[in-house]
């Protein structure tokens, strides 16, 4: 595994890391920075507002595990936070976009915003992943309980992601009618994914309950 050196700390792009070559989509500098920095900034704010509204609307009213009504959803990590702390640099981890550099998308973020989902009440989050979130269990061969908990987290993360995307495409359809067909295609895709991920989550949950 690559270990960070002191001089990497000031580097903003992962392609600066010695000995590792990353692919790039080769956007021109003006596409990345923008000809007009103010316009770019304004665009970024409106995109962020759009995504933030979709995230709010995508929040469920009930905990995905116990089914109880809740307003205070837990900031659950798909990968345990203690694992992320081991690879973080100054409290931040690199996103995949650090390698491909899509304009307008973040290249790194804090541990509390990385790989998270908001579908569970705090009580459930603190109970149902205990085997996966105990570092002592990593010295042994993973048990079937741990595997079912990993599966639950992965499916919940995907469910949360598709819920937001579904709302985003619906909002896009409303605001930009000329993208109607494209939006319908993606709305249907996110709904099919949601059905599949939800079924798989239920199977993992059932396996976890049977073995606890």
Task: Count residues binding Zn ion (CB under 5 A).
Answer: 5
Query: Shortest gap between Cβ of 130 and Zn ion (angstroms)?
Result: 14
Chain Cα centroid distance, residue 155: 11
Q: What is the rounded CA–CA span in Å between residue 2 and residue 24?
A: 20
Of the residues 14, 65, 79, 152, which one makes contact with Zn ion according to CB under 5 A:
65
121 counts as binding Zn ion under rule CB under 5 A: yes
Q: What part of residues 142-201 is at the interface with Zn ion (CB under 5 A)?
A: none
Element (H, E) at 196: helix 180-211
Give the nearer residue to Zn ion in terms of CB position, either 133 or 165: 133
Q: Give the DSSP letter of residue 8.
A: G
Give the nearer residue to Zn ion in terms of CB position, either 14 or 74: 74
Q: Give the DSSP letter of residue 69.
A: B
Q: What is the rounded CA–CA span in Å between residue 19 and residue 78?
A: 30
Give the interface segment with Zn ion, choosing from 55-63, 74-82, 139-147, 195-203 (CB under 5 A).
55-63
| b/e burial code for range 40-49 (CB count within 10 A of at least 16 → b) | beeeeeeeee
Of the residues 32, 47, 66, 182, which one makes contact with Zn ion according to CB under 5 A:
66
Residues that bind Zn ion (CB under 5 A): 63, 65-66, 121, 124
């Amino acid at each position: 595994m690559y270990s960070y050196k002191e001089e990497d700390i000031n580097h903003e792009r992962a392609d600066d890391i010695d000995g590792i070559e990353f692919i790039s989509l080769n956007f021109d500098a003006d596409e990345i920075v923008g000809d007009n920095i103010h316009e770019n900034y304004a665009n970024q704010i409106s995109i962020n507002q759009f995504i933030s509204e979709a995230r709010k609307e995508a929040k469920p009213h009930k905990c995905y595990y116990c089914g109880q009504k809740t307003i205070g959803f837990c900031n659950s990590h798909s990968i345990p936070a203690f694992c992320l702390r081991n690879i973080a640099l100054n409290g931040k981890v690199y996103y995949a976009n650090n390698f491909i550099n899509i304009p307008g998308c973040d290249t790194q973020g804090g541990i509390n915003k990385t790989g998270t989902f908001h579908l569970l009440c705090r009580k459930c989050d603190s109970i149902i992943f205990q085997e996966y979130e105990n570092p002592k269990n990593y010295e042994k061969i993973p048990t079937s309980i741990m595997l079912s908990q990993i599966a639950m987290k992965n499916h919940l993360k995907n469910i949360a992601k598709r819920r937001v995307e579904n709302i985003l495409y619906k909002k896009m359809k409303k605001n930009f009618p000329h993208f109607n067909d494209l939006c319908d295609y993606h709305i249907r895709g996110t709904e099919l994914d949601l059905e599949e991920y939800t079924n798989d989550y239920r199977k993992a949950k059932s396996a976890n309950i049977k073995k606890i």
